């Protein structure tokens, strides 16, 4: 009796099975389509981090910010903090100078973990850049002045501390640098000694200057020594 019941059950299941499979597939497609149609998209920008090895560094301009696209349930994607989606390129595996297409990678942390469904894409997806051997040099600083000291006074001496800095960057750029200028030092109307902290100007994002990026400028301002009637001071 049991065997007969089993055969009837199997026959019932097998009856019109293609139509049943199609019905299940259609139901799944409708579910997926509905789920996709209810997902929302969110965009934000995030800094691009560069992971470099000990030899090669970027030697061409590249974007430092990428756009992150999040797609998921509206109740979830807006709880993800911008800082919990990190974008980076990994240069540690490159050993030869040249041009490369490097993929932008994503790292999730914090509020971005465990959010489902969550689709993440970035724009651009790849970064084109040249890699060169990185070198360091000890480079002098050059003060940049504006204006003149007060009438009847002279700038008789000036000093920078430090007067040189260590900078690191791609070989071709570092070999062409002669000095780094300071920010503008205003001399207008000065009639006494003075000291100021001033920025070291570095307009190339591919170059890194060690230290705090500043130098102390000291100036000695004096009246000229007048000679007496015999021509002696």
Per-residue pLDDT tens digits for 49-104: 999 887 899 999 999 999 999 998 878 888 888 899 999 999 998 999 999 999 99
Enumerate residues 6+ apart whose C-beta is below 8 A from 63.
48, 124, 127
Q: Are the beta carbons of 83 and 68 closer than 8 angstroms? A: no
State both tokens at 26. 């259609």
Q: Give the residue-averaged pLDDT of 113-129.
A: 91
72 alpha-carbon distance from chain centroid: 27
Q: Give the residue-averaged pLDDT of 114-138.
A: 92
User: How much is the pLDDT for 184?
Assistant: 97
State both tokens at 149. 């000291």
Q: For residue 126, what is the enclosing H or E element?
A: strand 126-146
User: How much is the pLDDT for 14?
Assistant: 55
pLDDT, tens digit (0-9, with 9 covering 90-100), for 9-32: 555 555 555 655 555 554 455 444
Q: Give the residue-averaged pLDDT of 41-48.
A: 93
Write down the mean pLDDT value for the chain.
86
pLDDT, tens digit (0-9, with 9 covering 90-100), for 179-228: 999 999 999 999 999 999 999 999 999 999 999 999 999 999 999 876 55
User: How much is the pLDDT for 79?
Assistant: 87
Torsion region of 156: left, alpha or beta (phi above 0 gives left; psi -120 to 50 gives alpha) = alpha
User: How much is the pLDDT for 178?
Assistant: 94
User: How much is the pLDDT for 31?
Assistant: 45
Strand, coil or helix: what is 99? strand
Which among 37, 47, 139, 35 is positioned nearest to 88, based on CA atoms? 47
Q: For residue 184, what is the enclosing H or E element?
A: strand 179-186
Q: CA 202 to CA 186: how far, in whole Å?
A: 19
Supply the pTM of this predicted model: 0.68
Q: Is the pLDDT of residue 8 over 80?
A: no
User: How much is the pLDDT for 34?
Assistant: 43
The model's confidence at residue 232, banded by pLDDT at 50, 70 and 90, is low
Per DSSP bridges, beta strands 126-146 and 98-103 are antiparallel
């Amino acid at each position: 009796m049991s065997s007969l019941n089993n055969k009837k059950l199997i026959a019932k299941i097998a009856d019109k099975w293609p139509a049943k499979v199609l019905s299940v597939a259609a139901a799944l497609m409708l579910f997926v389509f509905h789920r996709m149609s209810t997902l929302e998209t969110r965009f934000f920008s995030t800094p691009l981090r560069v992971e470099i090895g000990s030899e090669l560094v970027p030697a061409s301009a590249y974007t430092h910010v990428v756009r992150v696209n999040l797609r998921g349930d509206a109740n979830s994607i807006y709880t993800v903090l911008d800082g919990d989606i990190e974008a980076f390129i990994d240069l540690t595996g490159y050993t030869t100078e040249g041009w490369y297409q490097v993929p932008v990678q994503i790292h999730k942390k914090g509020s971005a973990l465990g959010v489902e469904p969550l689709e993440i894409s970035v724009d651009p997806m790849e970064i084109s850049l040249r890699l060169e051997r990185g070198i360091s040099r000890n480079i002098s600083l050059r003060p940049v002045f504006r204006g003149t000291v007060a009438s009847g006074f002279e700038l008789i001496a000036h000093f920078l501390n430090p007067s040189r800095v260590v900078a690191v960057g791609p070989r071709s750029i570092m070999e062409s640098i002669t000095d780094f200028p300071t920010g503008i030092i205003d001399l207008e109307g000065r009639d006494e000694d003075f000291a100021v902290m001033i920025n070291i100007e570095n307009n190339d994002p591919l170059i890194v200057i060690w230290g705090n990026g500043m130098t102390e400028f000291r100036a000695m301002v004096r009246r000229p020594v007048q000679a007496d009637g015999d021509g002696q001071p």
